[in-house]
Amino acid sequence: MKWRRGLILAGIHLAIAAPLMVSELMPRYAAEKTHSLNRNPAPELKLVAYQEGEQTVEFVPFCEEWRSTSWQEKMLDSSELPATIVSGWNSDCPAGWTTAGLIGIDMRHHTQAQEIGSSAAFCLLIAIQWFVLGSLPLIRPGRWWLEPGACNTASTLIVVSLIATGKLIEAVGYPELLAVFGLPAFAILLLIVFTWVIWLALLLWKAVSSGWKLAISTRKSSGDREIKI
């Protein structure tokens, strides 16, 4: 078990994911704070004659997942795919079995404290995920970048560097050059997603291979016992 490798990969991904989450959430918090300070007092509702009966009307919010996603979300969804699924981070309607759902986040309950708790749980899942994947690589190829975890980590660093450079150039007044960095970043994002497919295929292959070896060894041991008898 490669403990040191697992700690390094976990540290790298946390160092990337935490600033991405902060840059995604902080503008939202600032906008919500400004909106709450400038919000007009809520109008008072008065009952009229035909409203004084027993009838009530309840408006139930519904989940709306069809929204544009930021580059930070796309980056996290690609590089931290299993942890993203389990965490339900930044989802308006996370499933009840996700960490966000367990915290109580839904369309009616989405406080800043809950969002911070969801983000902390997401960071913990990322650390656990990469410590396990880094400590227990499924293959050990001759070239380090052929291992899915190493390829994912290196590709993530490259994509973040490309996007950060593109955003900096856009900020100084050259938005037309953003595509020069955005197109290769998108291609590498697809490679990052593909590393998870490769990892899953390797995991299935390892499971089938181990099961086959166990079945053969069990059959041989039972045959040896029959010969001795």
Reported as a single tens digit per residue, the pLDDT across 186-226 is 999 999 999 999 999 999 999 998 888 888 877 766 665 65
pLDDT, average across residues 139-167: 93
Q: How far is the C-alpha of 77 from the C-alpha of 20, rounded, in Å?
A: 11
Regarding pTM above 0.85, the answer is no
Name the residue with tokens 């995604």.
24
Q: Which whole-number Å values give the CA distances from 216 to 30, 179, 219, 226, 229, in the listed order? A: 62, 55, 5, 15, 20
For residue 60, give the DSSP letter: P
| pLDDT tens per residue, range 32-78 | 566 555 555 445 555 554 444 555 544 445 565 556 788 899 999 99
Read off the tokens for 60. 């139930």
Residue with tokens 């960095």: 181
Looking at every residue in the chain, the average pLDDT score rounds to 83
The answer to whether the beta carbons of residues 185 and 221 sit under 8 Å apart is: no
Domain ranges, ordered by start, for the chain: 1-29+70-136, 141-220
The torsion defined by the Cα of 179, 185, 187 and 193, in degrees rounded to 10, comes to -150
197/164 Cα distance (integer angstroms): 27
Greater pLDDT, 179 or 18: 18
Residue-level pLDDT at 174 = 79
Is residue 22 very low, low, confident or very high in pLDDT (cuts 50, 70, 90)? Answer: very high
